[in-house]
Structure 1
Amino acid sequence: MQLVARCRKCGRVMKSERVDNYRVKMTCSCGFSDFRTITEKVKTVNPFYHKAGFTPFLESEKGKMVLTMQKANREHLEIISLEEISMLVSSDFDLPLVLRRVAEKVATQLKVSVCSIYLMEEGDLVLAATYGFDVSFVGKIRIKIGEGITGTVARDRQHISLTRASQDPRYKSFSELQEEKYNSMLSFPIADKQDVYGVINLNSTSMKTFTDDEIYFISIIANLILTAVKLRQKVASGNVTP
């Protein structure tokens, strides 16, 4: 699927290059570049449209109408969540507050027990925000690149989705977080084409299978977090006026 967009600096049509199954890099001859999130499988305007995944399936006409309303409501809420998170990213709030609110909104939207965000710090992944785990461990949990599922995702820059995470040979539990009680896990890299900036993790006590829609949703969130991190790095360096 070819993505057509114009440069925000000069207005020329930008070239698109797919980075992975979820992201496309847009480049312009003037030197401007940007990343867009668009999965190869989704070709509708609404990225949450192509699969409903409701159970049980109701056969009656009335039941089908209920399912249609539920689906529309879910899509509406997901779009609202993305709008709210986009506003957080572009706000002048400090990064820790932005990440904390993002974690809370994502966990609530996808109905998972835990959402945690790790950022790179001195070569390690450090817990930067969490919803569901004890917040006193923020800044204290450190994971090396390649260590456990989270470290593997950061190293390979590819997401991992598991229904029984603790049975995976790459799994490493942190006893202080009491991770052993969580079954399902989705771990997604926060990265651009050159560097990894962190990882966002979702954990669920149930044996949940994350759908393509949910993974796509998290890929958008990961890119928004990346934007938030880069923006505040530029502000801190004095290259951008807050």
Structure 2
Amino acid sequence: MHLSRCRKCGRVMKGERIDPYRVKLTCSCGFSDFRTMTEKVKTVNPFFQKGGFSPLLESERGKMVLTMQRANREHLEIISLEEISMLVSSDFDLPEVLQHVTAKVATQLKVSVCNIYLREGDEVVLAATHGFDPAFIGKIRIKIGDGITGSVARDGQYISLSRASQDPRYRYFPELQEEKYNSMLSFPIGDKKEVYGVINLNTTSIRSFHEDEIYFVSIIANLILTAIKLRQQVASSRKAAEASA
């Protein structure tokens, strides 16, 4: 069940998924609304309204299995994006939203670690993690331009590596007593003007992140940015209200 606040009375609304892309929200006051995924997200839908079957040659069976596996993964990605979209527009505080996001992304993409860093001055600071000890949230700090994560925060361009631990920019944190991770995807959270943070994915296995996986993470980064800006607006409105009171 998805929850959100009514724009008319402020009560909690009940949500029900009515198709793969939309959730209908209803309030006891009679107000109703729909939440939909963007057209950009809809383009990853691998399904057709009608399907047919024809005999397969033995050599085609493996390809069909891979196609079905990818279609299933992309379908689950759409569901994950819906859930994260609802979290973004919820009343949850930003740390809680980010923590949910790391868990969902790590599960969806089957990675060992998913970390979200947010910018504070000339550093990015660990704000949420799935895979690291939560005690290090707020304590792991990386200078802008330092290491892979700092480079992404500085340049605003993602970095994808299958053997990250062999990259000269790779930074190891001995206090975490962590394994050295091989594959790594580091993606900026920002707009054309500013980088607000970085989302990192790591695995101990050697693998390459596929184009559709990077695209999925890019959408997640945009949703995180929306969550940040929404809560900044709320905080700014509260301060303005308190100042005028």
Say yes or no: TM over 0.5: yes
The TM-score normalised by the length of structure 1 is 0.74
- The equivalent of 1:232 in structure 2 is 231
**1:182 offset after TM fit, Å?**
1.2
Aligned with 1:206: secondary structure?
coil
The aligned amino acid for 1:193 is: K
Answer yes or no: is the 8 Å Cα contact 1:145–1:151 preserved in 2: yes
Given the superposition, is the C-alpha separation of residues 67 and 185 from structure 1 closer, same or farther in structure 2, using an over 3 Å criterion?
Answer: closer
| Structure 2, gaps ≥5 residues long | 1-37, 47-56
In structure 2, distance between residues paired with 1:223 and 1:99: 13
Aligned with 1:181: secondary structure?
coil
Superimposed CA distance per residue, residues 60-82 of structure 1 (whole angstroms, 9 cap, x where no aligned partner): 56555443432321111010000
**1:238 offset after TM fit, Å?**
0.8
User: What is the aligned-residue identity percentage?
Assistant: 74
Aligned with 1:208: secondary structure?
coil
The TM-score normalised by the length of structure 2 is 0.73
Greater mean deviation of Cα atoms: 226-235 or 62-71: 62-71
The aligned amino acid for 2:204 is: T
The aligned amino acid for 1:188 is: F
| Structure 1, gaps ≥5 residues long | 1-35, 39-43, 50-57
1:74 aligns with 2:73: yes
- The equivalent of 2:170 in structure 1 is 171
Q: Among 43, 46, 53, which residue is 1:46 paired with?
A: 43
Q: Which protein is bigger by CA-based radius of gyration?
A: 2
Query: How well do the aligned residues superpose, as a CA RMSD in angstroms?
Result: 2.4
The aligned amino acid for 2:44 is: P
Give the length in aligned residue pairs.
193
Aligned with 2:73: secondary structure?
helix
Aligned with 1:188: secondary structure?
strand
In structure 2, distance between residues paired with 1:179 and 1:59: 44
Superimposed CA distance per residue, residues 140-174 of structure 1 (whole angstroms, 9 cap, x where no aligned partner): 01111001100000000000001111111111111
Q: How does 1:45-194 map to 2 (within 5 A)?
A: 45-47=42-44, 49=46, 59=58, 63-194=62-193
Given the superposition, is the C-alpha separation of residues 163 and 37 from structure 1 closer, same or farther in structure 2, using an over 3 Å criterion?
Answer: farther
In structure 1, distance between residues paired with 2:203 and 2:63: 29
Answer yes or no: is the 8 Å Cα contact 1:124–1:142 preserved in 2: yes
Answer yes or no: is the 8 Å Cα contact 1:118–1:127 preserved in 2: yes
Aligned with 2:172: secondary structure?
coil
